[in-house]
Chains A and B, each alone.
Chain A
Amino acid sequence: DTEVTQTPKHLVMGMTNKKSLKCEQHMGHRAMYWYKQKAKKPPELMFVYSYEKLSINESVPSRFSPECPNSSLLNLHLHALQPEDSALYLCASSPRGSSPSNSGNTIYFGEGSWLTVV
């Protein structure tokens, strides 16, 4: 069973609002991720944190600001979003791997936060 929890489950925000999505995992994983998923599309990677440091930013607009306060928490701060940013935002984590590349680590996802920008 997944142990990645996300809050809120649903969020409606105006284009001038500032809000945050929160994610927590208690599996001791050292990599955490934010994905964005539009309807009928696969998830798209946004950010990767490795050992609480931002290691990958997939050219995400600055109106999305990630934060990793500690090894268990991951936030996504939202500001001045556009209606086209409405999507399902998925948090995920993966364990520390034994191989140098860690390419085989399973990524575990949370239930997601459904975001609507009006």
Chain B
Amino acid sequence: AQKVTQAQTEISVVEKEDVTLDCVYETRDTTYYLFWYKQPPSGELVFLIRRNSFDEQNEISGRYSWNFQKSTSSFNFTITASQVVDSAVYFCALSEAYSTGTASKLTFGTGTRLQVTL
């Protein structure tokens, strides 16, 4: 069975600090996909990144960066110079395949609530 663990329930930082959100996953599949989503208080789940299991290159997008390490089954997310607008719940997720149709199934972690204060 697939599993995603986000051990950090809540993190509080002061604006401009760097913060890393941890994600550890378990799967028996050799091909899999990992995702990060952001959920602000409004409720929408905003897609941030997708990474497949064959691509271990780290990725940077503005103040966001992701570190994928298959050796430790981790896919960590770093926000550099955090801002108040980064306050949200962040979910890491692992995708598995359904045998039919075009659908995907996401296994979510429990989420990390990030609070950025002035």
A contact residues vs B (CB 8 Å cutoff) = 2, 30-31, 33, 40-43, 45, 48, 50-51, 53, 55-56, 88, 90, 92, 94-97, 101-112, 114
Which residues in chain B, 60-118, are within 8 Å of chain A measured between CB atoms? Answer: 91, 95-98, 100-106, 108-111
**Minimum distance in angstroms from A10 CB to a CB of chain B:** 10
**Minimum distance in angstroms from B38 CB to a CB of chain A:** 11
Q: Is the CB of B103 within 8 A of A33?
A: yes
Q: Which residues of B contact A92 (CB under 8 A)?
A: 45
B contact residues vs A (CB 8 Å cutoff) = 29, 31-33, 35, 37, 42-47, 50, 52, 91, 95-98, 100-106, 108-111
**Minimum distance in angstroms from B5 CB to a CB of chain A:** 12
Q: Is the CB of A101 within 8 A of B50?
A: no
A-B contacts, 26 listed (Cβ < 8 Å): A30-B101, A30-B102, A31-B103, A33-B103, A42-B110, A43-B91, A48-B105, A50-B102, A51-B101, A53-B101, A56-B98, A56-B105, A90-B43, A94-B104, A95-B102, A101-B31, A101-B97, A103-B33, A105-B95, A105-B104, A106-B35, A107-B47, A108-B47, A109-B44, A109-B46, A112-B43
A104-B102 contact given A42-B110, A109-B45, A112-B44, CB 8 Å threshold: no
**Minimum distance in angstroms from A99 CB to a CB of chain B:** 8
Q: Is the CB of B42 within 8 A of A31?
A: no
Q: Is the CB of A48 within 8 A of B103?
A: yes
Q: How far is the CA of A40 from the CA of B109 in the complex (A)?
A: 12
**Which of A42, A45, A97, A106 touches B102 (beta carbons < 8 Å)?**
A97
**Minimum distance in angstroms from A112 CB to a CB of chain B:** 4
